[in-house]
Amino acid sequence: MRRSLILVLVMSLCLGSFAVAEAKKKKKKKKGPKTVATTLFMHGQSPYGEMDGVQWFASQSPPESPMTVDAVEPDGSTKSMAIGSPTWNSNCTGLPLGFPTFTGQFSGTITGDAKLIAHFDGSSGTAEARVWVDVGAFQACNDDYIEPHAMAEFEAASGEVEIPLTGLNITGASTIMIEFVIPGRSAPMPRLQYDSGDAPTRFEFSCLPPAGATTCVPEPEGE
């Protein structure tokens, strides 16, 4: 009888030690990747985006726009650019000379629901917001037009406008491009406002960083 009790006690201790060891293993297991709340702000170099567009064209139309998007929150004076004109072909993949087109660095996967928060001045009109990843400005037009990876129609009325983009699953390796346009709209045209504390036009989304990274965009300097 005594031998049986000792055997039971030994087995209980062994099972208890095994359970503790398994619990520790589970704690040590790495947690799956987490999405990161990300906000990208639109910036320009000149007070009027049309001037940036001319600069871009004079520089032989590089894939990077002089109008940029990054994680730096703006604090300067408001800049603006018209978002519609029959002079320019709106069926192009990014066109800084004709429409507000912002490019910046991006690497990761945009997931779930996102939103663009844009500021406008002037008359209203049905517009489009377009988002591409790993596509440079003015790569193709008409039959070769590259469809956006995300797109939403909205009413570009004066003031702040929230533009929802739902159910996203967009993976990029290097860049992001955002464009606002009213296809075929004649004057008067609403103007997109951006790059200031009064008009912080921006893109808010959740992002899954690539392996080994903690963010999908370069962090602002000094942070």
Considering the domain architecture, whether residues 51 and 142 belong to the same structural domain is answered as: yes
Segment 145-185, tens digit of pLDDT: 899 999 999 998 889 999 999 999 999 999 999 999 988 76
Q: Residues 6 or more apart from 128 whose CB is under 8 A from it? A: 151, 152, 153, 154, 180, 181, 182, 183
Considering the domain architecture, whether residues 24 and 107 belong to the same structural domain is answered as: no
Domain assignment present for 64? yes
pTM of the complete model: 0.83
Could you give the number of structural domains in the chain? 2
CB 63 within 8 A of CB 70: no
Domain assignment present for 131? yes
What is the structure's pLDDT at 7? 47
**pLDDT band at residue 123, thresholds of 50, 70 and 90?**
confident
Considering the domain architecture, whether residues 89 and 24 belong to the same structural domain is answered as: no
Considering the domain architecture, whether residues 70 and 23 belong to the same structural domain is answered as: no
Domain assignment present for 20? yes
Domain assignment present for 216? no
Segment 28-77, tens digit of pLDDT: 555 556 999 999 999 999 999 999 999 999 999 999 999 999 999 999 89
Considering the domain architecture, whether residues 7 and 69 belong to the same structural domain is answered as: no
Domain that holds residue 10: 1-30
